[in-house]
A and B are shown apart, each in its own frame.
Chain A
């Protein structure tokens, strides 16, 4: 009987091809929209995650929470800020040494102090100011996952010898040298100092906020010598935790060391020093992306619901139109369950076919870039959308089917 039900339901659908197709379209769009929109949300989430992971998930950056002390020579301002709790403090060599102490800070692997300079580079009459000019130690590139495309990064020896060498990002290279010039071993004047280019970074693109290729890096000693002045303070210290799982522990240890160095309570330390934790940044962005994805999915789910109402609507029309047929079937011996089954199968078949085409459409639609985001299909969304579509057909089919099944044959036969 179930096979006969299926055959009868198929005949019913084929009898009104256009109407069936339009009803299916409602479900198709709903299912397709769920898949594509969840894929867009998922894709943007994955893109942001990979950007953050590109920065290194086990990287911590320590900065002073106050606003003073930047640009070198800002130490010892001594002024009080934020009431009494936060003195203007700066990161010092003692801090770098303290954070490098593996017994005090066992979860930190590498420590790289950095200073930033704002200087304009000049080469052969062309001038350009990189948005970042970083003076740091040789381990910084490795902590931050900067890779060198040609030439090499500076070494500890360059650092020790105070050599004026610089590694450039591709944006800086193209701005200063133009096309077709190999910048390696050429000398660029930054401020009044002459730096020799020893390497060019691999392009990293944008991280969503700034161009990561608009950068120049030079040994800390050389930058302090010639650009920022040797004040013994740093704008930030970049640290690498032993693994991405130990970043939270490392963060606590870092704050403890800094607090004791600057004679601050732990509460004062956590307001005075800002520790940027890439792992927690990743979590935050994951959470906000999940909200984004859920919202997109919800919008799509509403269209699926509307599609379901379309199924119900068309089934009600069908039942009314076929009242006489129902009467005939009942007269020749169809039981209530037979009629119920026939119309329920018809409704579910509509949503099932709509669901299948919707899945296909959604998967095809997810192959295209949408508003700059490459959608990544979430397998759960396919199963969910398809399952919900079938359930929607079942749910919205029950009422019309029941109405058909409850008709009295004597009334149904007389219906014109």
Chain B
């Protein structure tokens, strides 16, 4: 552990000695071989590593899409170990805003409906849902593309819709997996600007990438190799007044 978790405020993410093993016996693969880290509220963290370094596994665990083999993971103070499928779905719904490399919008469904989707599963009433989705679409600059389907939007626009979907539920953390991997440099810059702006508003952003230019925009860079943390560098100070999400 390179950074001591502070007493106050509670870190958004506490990962303690997490391992993840796939397969059995001879074919056993240690994707994560004991990772510990803490991420504070309002931080902007880039997790880097070559393919096979375990960064996707870490991303799945941080996103509550998968559970660690051993070790503990606390998300926003909730111990994820021992939660059942339904509870994990609720955690994903309330605490995490996902952004994927391939955008992962629901096809043939309008942008606004895609943004509303997490709130549908959260049981938010239709009127409130629409209002919050509109705000999110405005904040990513797509207020005029509400009824366009993903196929009618450019890659950069699709990713901005995905960002709007991620922030609409007001999650504890935005988790982005190679968000610029499928975008040209101009669109990449737009999306990264958006992340910076969101972080400036006090949102916690964790992004996984293998590009140095992307990682350079983060306040803190964690490098993984062979399932372990290789280095953990802070480039910019964590804002002293982190706004609680």
- The chain A residues found within 8 Å of chain B, CB to CB, are 1, 4, 11, 15, 324-325, 327-338, 409-410, 413
Docked-complex contact A328 and B104, CB < 8 angstroms: yes
Residues of B within 8 A of A409 (CB): 65
Docked-complex contact A329 and B123, CB < 8 angstroms: no
Shortest Cβ gap from A103 to chain B (Å) = 84
B66 interface residue per 8 A CB criterion = yes
Expressed in whole angstroms, the Cα–Cα distance for A192 and B86 within the complex equals 101
Known: A331-B104, A333-B94. Is A4-B66 also a contact (CB below 8 A)? no
Docked-complex contact B121 and A338, CB < 8 angstroms: yes
Known: A410-B60, A410-B66, A413-B100. Is A335-B109 also a contact (CB below 8 A)? no
Q: Beta-carbon contacts of B102-130 to A below 8 Å, as 1s and 0s?
A: 00111111000000011011110000000
Residues of B within 8 A of A325 (CB): 106-107
Residues of A within 8 A of B165 (CB): 332
Residues of B within 8 A of A413 (CB): 65, 100, 104
Which residue on A lies nearest to B175, using beta carbons?
A: A331
Docked-complex contact B86 and A335, CB < 8 angstroms: yes
Expressed in whole angstroms, the Cα–Cα distance for A327 and B109 within the complex equals 16
Which residue on B lies nearest to A332, using beta carbons?
A: B118
Residues of A within 8 A of B94 (CB): 333
Residues of B within 8 A of A330 (CB): 89, 92
B63 interface residue per 8 A CB criterion = yes
Docked-complex contact A332 and B86, CB < 8 angstroms: no
B90 interface residue per 8 A CB criterion = yes
Shortest Cβ gap from B144 to chain A (Å) = 23
Known: A335-B86, A335-B90, A413-B65. Is A329-B117 also a contact (CB below 8 A)? yes
Expressed in whole angstroms, the Cα–Cα distance for A1 and B165 within the complex equals 19
Expressed in whole angstroms, the Cα–Cα distance for A99 and B118 within the complex equals 89
Residues of B within 8 A of A1 (CB): 120, 123
- The chain B residues found within 8 Å of chain A, CB to CB, are 60, 63, 65-66, 85-86, 89-90, 92-94, 98, 100, 104-109, 117-118, 120-123, 165, 169
Docked-complex contact A335 and B121, CB < 8 angstroms: yes
**A–B Cβ pairs within 8 angstroms, 5 of them:** A327-B104, A332-B92, A332-B121, A336-B89, A413-B100
Known: A1-B123, A413-B100. Is A334-B89 also a contact (CB below 8 A)? yes
Which residue on B lies nearest to A8, using beta carbons?
A: B120
Residues of B within 8 A of A328 (CB): 104-106
Known: A328-B104, A331-B104. Is A336-B90 also a contact (CB below 8 A)? no
Expressed in whole angstroms, the Cα–Cα distance for A115 and B38 within the complex equals 113
Which residue on B lies nearest to A3, using beta carbons?
A: B126
Known: A11-B109, A325-B107. Is A331-B65 also a contact (CB below 8 A)? yes
Which residue on B lies nearest to A4, using beta carbons?
A: B120
Most buried by A among B65, B86, B90: B65
Docked-complex contact A11 and B90, CB < 8 angstroms: no
Shortest Cβ gap from B108 to chain A (Å) = 5
Residues of B within 8 A of A338 (CB): 121
Docked-complex contact A15 and B104, CB < 8 angstroms: no
Expressed in whole angstroms, the Cα–Cα distance for A252 and B117 within the complex equals 79
Expressed in whole angstroms, the Cα–Cα distance for A396 and B94 within the complex equals 34
| Other A-B pairs, 14, CB within 8 Å; known A11-B108, A325-B106, A332-B98 | A11-B109, A328-B105, A331-B98, A331-B104, A332-B93, A332-B117, A333-B89, A333-B92, A333-B121, A335-B90, A336-B85, A410-B65, A413-B100, A413-B104
Residues of A within 8 A of B60 (CB): 410
Residues of A within 8 A of B118 (CB): 332-333
Known: A329-B106, A410-B60, A410-B66. Is A334-B98 also a contact (CB below 8 A)? no
Which residue on B lies nearest to A410, using beta carbons?
A: B65
Shortest Cβ gap from B204 to chain A (Å) = 18
Which residue on A lies nearest to B92, using beta carbons?
A: A333
Docked-complex contact A329 and B108, CB < 8 angstroms: no
Residues of A within 8 A of B85 (CB): 335-336
Expressed in whole angstroms, the Cα–Cα distance for A325 and B109 within the complex equals 11
Shortest Cβ gap from A279 to chain B (Å) = 65
Expressed in whole angstroms, the Cα–Cα distance for A337 and B85 within the complex equals 11
Docked-complex contact B86 and A329, CB < 8 angstroms: no
Residues of B within 8 A of A332 (CB): 92-93, 98, 117-118, 121, 165
Docked-complex contact B93 and A333, CB < 8 angstroms: yes
Expressed in whole angstroms, the Cα–Cα distance for A11 and B107 within the complex equals 11
Docked-complex contact B121 and A334, CB < 8 angstroms: yes
Docked-complex contact A324 and B104, CB < 8 angstroms: yes
Which residue on A lies nearest to B118, using beta carbons?
A: A332
Docked-complex contact B108 and A15, CB < 8 angstroms: yes
Docked-complex contact A333 and B90, CB < 8 angstroms: yes
Residues of A within 8 A of B104 (CB): 324, 327-328, 331, 413
Which residue on A lies nearest to B85, using beta carbons?
A: A336
Expressed in whole angstroms, the Cα–Cα distance for A327 and B98 within the complex equals 12
Residues of A within 8 A of B107 (CB): 15, 325
Shortest Cβ gap from B226 to chain A (Å) = 21
Expressed in whole angstroms, the Cα–Cα distance for A15 and B151 within the complex equals 13
Shortest Cβ gap from A5 to chain B (Å) = 9
Expressed in whole angstroms, the Cα–Cα distance for A324 and B107 within the complex equals 10
Expressed in whole angstroms, the Cα–Cα distance for A338 and B86 within the complex equals 10
Question: Which 9 pairs between the two chains have the least Cβ-Cβ distance?
Answer: A333-B93, A332-B118, A333-B121, A410-B65, A335-B89, A328-B104, A15-B108, A334-B121, A335-B86
Residues of B within 8 A of A336 (CB): 85-86, 89
Shortest Cβ gap from B202 to chain A (Å) = 22
Expressed in whole angstroms, the Cα–Cα distance for A1 and B125 within the complex equals 9
